[in-house]
Amino acid sequence: MKRTQISLLAVATLLAAPALAEDAALREEAKGLFEVIPMQAPQLADNNTVTRDKIDLGAMLFFDPRMSKSGVFSCQSCHNVGLGGVDGLETSIGHGWQKGPRNAPTALNAVFNVAQFWDGRAPDLAAQAKGPVQAGVEMNNTPENLVATVQSMPGYVEAFAKAFPGQKDPISFDNFALAVEAFEATLITPNSKFDQWLMGADGAMSADEKAGLKLFIDTGCAACHNGINIGGNGYYPFGVVEKPGAEVLPAGDKGRFAVTATADDEYVFRAGPLRNIALTAPYFHSGKVWDLREAVSVMANSQLGATLDDTQVDQITAFLGTLTGEQPEVVHPILPVRSAQTPRPEHMN
């Protein structure tokens, strides 16, 4: 009996050896292309020191609809931290119930992107935070009105003084943006199944998920979607091989061309980061595709000229599901009380 048990163990070991070797080779290949999400917020590139007081202030500003002219829309409105950092709409709804021109990118892990917005027009999260506040189709506010709003509330006066100690006038539009950036830097999603596997946990991914990763690399997806955020770190034309139809890519949006005025940047967009992609439908800057399997097929055809069969699409989609990390648990902050001097919200006429 003992000899039989030993023989069965030996057979099982021999059978497992090739699979373990394949896993090891795939892991080494993946480590050359991707990085693990860290367990805590990184140091910000613009030297914005992240402190607890600054994070807490940024959270208040992120959730406060009074940062908009109408008092209706906040950063959270379009970048809902409970919905994968997006609003789940084709394009966001803003001031006067206007529809924005592009799908709202996720705020989760945005700190790892090379730049912000689909066209990369903001170099960091602080610059990005200033954009929607002033956009007529979004929050439709002005820096002056925002500053007057926060200056009118004793709770904000105290919070800005704590977040920016030693400054003569801590309440400014720049400091508003730096505080929001500090909070958003904490919105990271570590410990995904893929991260666990990349760090050596062989059982963290299924056979189909690993097959999907292999296809993701071999088909060419990883040429644009790589790095710590599995994308978000480069700019590429949408439709390298074949432009999708108007049902996916409406005419008129020339992407990065509006930023650089360079002909080569027409219809060029930042590669979407794929972390938590299973949570953030609809997809692409147009928000026209609601099914992740369909998005995989569109990208394979348009960007790579590859026709994938159903099994391959299923496997790549399964791999993308492993990129969902631990979602940040954010308690909605108690917001400062308005005073008699607080500017009143303006109607959205």
Query: Taking the CA of residue 57 as centre, how many other CA atoms within 13 Å lie in the half-sphere pointing to its CB?
Result: 26
The per-residue pLDDT for 268 is 83
The per-residue pLDDT for 43 is 84
Annotated ligand binding at 347? The verdict is: no
More confident residue, 17 or 153: 153
Residue 115 backbone dihedrals phi, psi, to 5 degrees:
-160, 170
Contact 195, 325 (CB under 8 A): yes
Q: Which domains, from first to last, does the chain contain?
A: 18-36+189-320 (1.10.760.10), 50-183 (1.10.760.10)
Instruction: Reply yes or no on whether 346 is catalytic.
Output: no
**What share of the chain has pLDDT > 90, as a percent?**
73
How far apart, in whole angstroms, are the C-alpha atoms of residue 238 and residue 39?
Answer: 33
The two structure tokens encoding residue 193: 């199944």
More confident residue, 46 or 86: 86
More confident residue, 266 or 29: 29
Mean pLDDT of 341-347: 92
Annotated ligand binding at 348? The verdict is: no
The per-residue pLDDT for 249 is 72
For 99, the enclosing helix (H) or strand (E) is strand 98-99
List 138, 181, 184, 209, catalytic entry: 138
How far apart, in whole angstroms, are the C-alpha atoms of residue 199 and residue 196?
Answer: 5
Q: Can you state the angle between helices 143-151 and 173-184, rounded to 10 degrees?
A: 80
Q: Can you state the angle between helices 143-151 and 125-134, rounded to 10 degrees?
A: 100
The two structure tokens encoding residue 291: 């099914």
Q: pLDDT, tens digit, for every residue of 154-191?
A: 999 999 999 999 999 999 999 999 999 999 999 999 99
| Close Cβ partners of 207 (under 8 Å, ≥ 6 residues apart) | none
How far apart, in whole angstroms, are the C-alpha atoms of residue 314 and residue 295?
Answer: 12
Q: Can you state the angle between helices 310-321 and 207-219, rounded to 10 degrees?
A: 100
Mean pLDDT of 319-335: 97
More confident residue, 70 or 265: 70
The two structure tokens encoding residue 21: 């070797």
3-state secondary structure 199-232: CCCHHHCCHHHHHHHHHHHHHCHHHCCCECCCCC
The per-residue pLDDT for 265 is 66
Q: pLDDT, tens digit, for every residue of 204-256?
A: 999 999 999 999 999 999 999 999 999 999 998 887 777 766 667 776 776 77
Annotated ligand binding at 285? The verdict is: no
How far apart, in whole angstroms, are the C-alpha atoms of residue 177 and residue 128?
Answer: 8
Q: pLDDT, tens digit, for every residue of 119-142?
A: 888 999 999 999 999 998 899 999
Query: Taking the CA of residue 55 as centre, how many other CA atoms within 13 Å lie in the half-sphere pointing to its CB?
Result: 12
Mean pLDDT score of the chain: 91
Mean pLDDT of 314-332: 97
Whole-prediction pTM: 0.90
The per-residue pLDDT for 342 is 96
> Is a pLDDT exceeding 90 seen at residue 90?
yes
Mean pLDDT of 28-42: 94
Torsional sign, CA 296, 309, 312, 305: negative
Annotated ligand binding at 79? The verdict is: yes
The per-residue pLDDT for 190 is 97
Give 69's strand partners: none
